[in-house]
């Protein structure tokens, strides 16, 4: 694919023909709009449905009907171990050891479960560091955990304030906050990708700084997993959580995931909310009164796996395995780079991007503001939606457009640019 960009449908079509990942688009259902495919730029909010999902879910329904309870042991993919069928795929996508990951619950639930273990405040070290404007789930969870432990968010919640022009955070700002407050911070909780700005955070650098101050470190990877190559194990993070319905295409309300670093795999003194499914699988059915956790992330499970929610994730992870995160990242750099070029060179009198220009500091997302203010932004967002160009709106004034490499094309980016230009001339 060429990086000498041109703002024509012909040039974009040539890039799509040369795209080695182009066939993966056919594995997804593209929502129609007036007899054609829509331009769907919302994989950062809800990924598209893989075509193979329907058969995968139907197979589990068939086994349920034919085998009932025996499906736990005699199904085509026995339900007792079903969460293990996605383990290697998850580990590959997030850069972890298989024993460090587990598919369970949803993101908010997993965040609370991880904080039970990794937010252990003391009178001297009780603060939590998050970014200002964090996704509400993170802020709500942190504030409630702080209050649960008898502290006040007014004193124990530290928010990193943006120090860059478009509301992003420099590494220097993180360093400065940890140097100033590190001795009273119990937990650093930051995103892999900031949902509103699209900024990517350097996980390993943050872990190094925080651990040097004696802080635990966790990450919300909702907008990072399936978007960027991650190296969770090598980052040294204590834990991470994510949802699977965005870039991982596992469906609305899909089962989430969690990572616990292997150094905590056998740390039985860590408090946790225990459940039967987290008990060591080799003795689980002895029904003993003493909880013996399964080593690794599996030991944080509480309940049995949701089979009908795991089936779509299993299908999507197979697609990721075949596509490969390095190739997906390479295409993402080209595709997002092209969209940014169009915004700057063709639409600069109408739009501005607040996402970092450095490709290493962003994923498959541009957060765009419309010049002229919020009401013009809302008007453009609705104009695009009415024409089958689907992004999403985030208050107070951002349109998020996310060209996802598994199914978006260069032609989609041109269609977006042409629609914006027509709106501006209307």
Q: Is the distance from CB of 168 to CB of 370 less than 8 angstroms?
A: no
Tokens of 148: 């649960």
Element (H, E) at 53: helix 53-67
- What does the pLDDT average to over 52-68? 98
What percentage of the chain reaches a pLDDT higher than 70? 99
Query: What are 36-45's pLDDT values in tens digits?
Result: 999 999 999 9
Higher-confidence residue: 268 or 78?
78
- What does the pLDDT average to over 332-358? 97
Banded model confidence at residue 267, pLDDT cuts 50, 70, 90 = confident
Task: Tell me: pLDDT of 148 over 90.
Answer: yes
Residue with tokens 């990951």, as numbered in its chain: 101
Q: What pLDDT shows up at residue 269?
A: 79
What percentage of the chain reaches a pLDDT higher than 90? 96
Lowest-confidence segment of 122-136, 269-283, 340-354, 405-419 by average pLDDT: 269-283
Banded model confidence at residue 259, pLDDT cuts 50, 70, 90 = very high
Taking the C-alpha atoms of residue 8 and residue 4, their distance in angstroms, rounded to an integer, is 12
Query: What are 307-324's pLDDT values in tens digits?
Result: 999 999 999 999 999 999
Q: What pLDDT shows up at residue 3?
A: 64
Banded model confidence at residue 2, pLDDT cuts 50, 70, 90 = low
Reported CATH class of domain 9-49+324-425: alpha beta
Q: What is the pLDDT of the chain when averaged over all its residues?
A: 96
**Residue 192 to residues 44, 204, 248, 322, Cα–Cα distance (Å):** 13, 11, 15, 24
Q: What pLDDT shows up at residue 66?
A: 97
Q: Is the distance from CB of 378 to CB of 401 less than 8 angstroms?
A: no
Task: Tell me: pLDDT of 1 over 60.
Answer: no
Task: Tell me: pLDDT of 32 over 90.
Answer: yes
DSSP string of 168-227, one letter each residue: ---HHHHHHHHHHHGGGEEEEEEESB-TTT-BBP-HHHHHHHHHHTT-EEEEE-TTTTTT
For the stretch 257-276, what's the b/e string if a residue is b when 16 or more beta carbons lie within 10 angstroms of its beta carbon?
bbbbbeebbeeeebebeebe
Q: What pLDDT shows up at residue 68?
A: 98
Domain 9-49+324-425 and domain 57-320, same fold? Reply is: no
CATH 3.10.20.90 applies to domain 57-320: no
Q: What pLDDT shows up at residue 24?
A: 98
Taking the C-alpha atoms of residue 160 and residue 10, their distance in angstroms, rounded to an integer, is 45
Tokens of 364: 């498959």
Task: Tell me: pLDDT of 131 over 90.
Answer: yes
- What does the pLDDT average to over 233-248? 98
């Amino acid at each position: 694919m060429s990086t000498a960009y041109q703002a024509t449908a012909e040039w974009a079509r040539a890039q799509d023909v040369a795209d080695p990942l182009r066939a993966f688009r056919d594995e997804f259902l593209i929502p129609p709009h007036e007899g054609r495919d829509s331009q769907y730029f919302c994989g950062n909010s809800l990924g598209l449905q893989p075509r193979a999902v329907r058969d995968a879910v139907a197979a589990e329904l068939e086994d349920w009907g034919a085998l009932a309870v025996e499906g736990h042991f005699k199904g085509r993919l026995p339900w007792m171990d079903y969460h293990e069928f996605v383990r290697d795929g998850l580990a590959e996508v997030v850069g972890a050891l298989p024993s460090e990951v587990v598919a369970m619950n949803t993101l908010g639930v997993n965040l609370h479960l991880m904080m039970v273990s990794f937010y252990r405040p003391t009178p001297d070290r009780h603060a939590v560091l998050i970014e200002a404007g964090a996704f509400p789930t993170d802020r709500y969870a942190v504030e409630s955990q702080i209050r649960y432990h008898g502290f006040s968010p007014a004193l124990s919640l530290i928010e990193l304030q943006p120090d860059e022009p478009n509301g992003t955070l420099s590494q220097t700002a993180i360093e400065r906050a940890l140097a100033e407050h590190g001795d009273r911070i119990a937990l650093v909780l930051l995103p892999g990708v900031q949902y509103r700005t699209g900024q990517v955070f350097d996980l390993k650098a943050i872990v190094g700084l925080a651990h040097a101050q004696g802080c635990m470190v966790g990450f919300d990877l909702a907008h990072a997993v399936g978007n960027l190559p991650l190296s969770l194990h090598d980052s040294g993070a204590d834990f991470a959580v994510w949802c699977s319905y965005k870039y991982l295409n596992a469906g609305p309300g899909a089962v989430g995931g969690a990572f616990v670093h292997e150094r905590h795999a056998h740390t039985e003194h860590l408090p946790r909310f225990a459940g039967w499914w987290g008990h060591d699988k080799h003795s689980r059915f002895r029904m003993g009164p003493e909880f013996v956790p399964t080593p690794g992330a599996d030991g944080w499970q509480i309940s049995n796996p949701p089979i009908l929610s795991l089936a779509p994730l299993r299908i999507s992870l197979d697609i990721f395995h075949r596509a490969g995160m390095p190739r997906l990242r390479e295409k993402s750099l080209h595709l997002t780079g092209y969209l940014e070029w169009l915004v700057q060179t063709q639409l600069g009198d109408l739009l501005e991007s607040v996402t970092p220009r450095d490709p290493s500091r962003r994923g498959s997302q541009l957060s765009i503001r419309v010049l002229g203010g919020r009401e013009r932004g809302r008007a453009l967002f609705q104009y695009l939606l009415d024409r089958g160009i689907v992004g999403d709106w985030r208050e107070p004034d951002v349109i998020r457009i996310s060209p996802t490499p598994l199914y978006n094309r260069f032609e989609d980016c041109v269609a977006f640019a042409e629609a914006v230009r027509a709106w501006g001339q209307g």
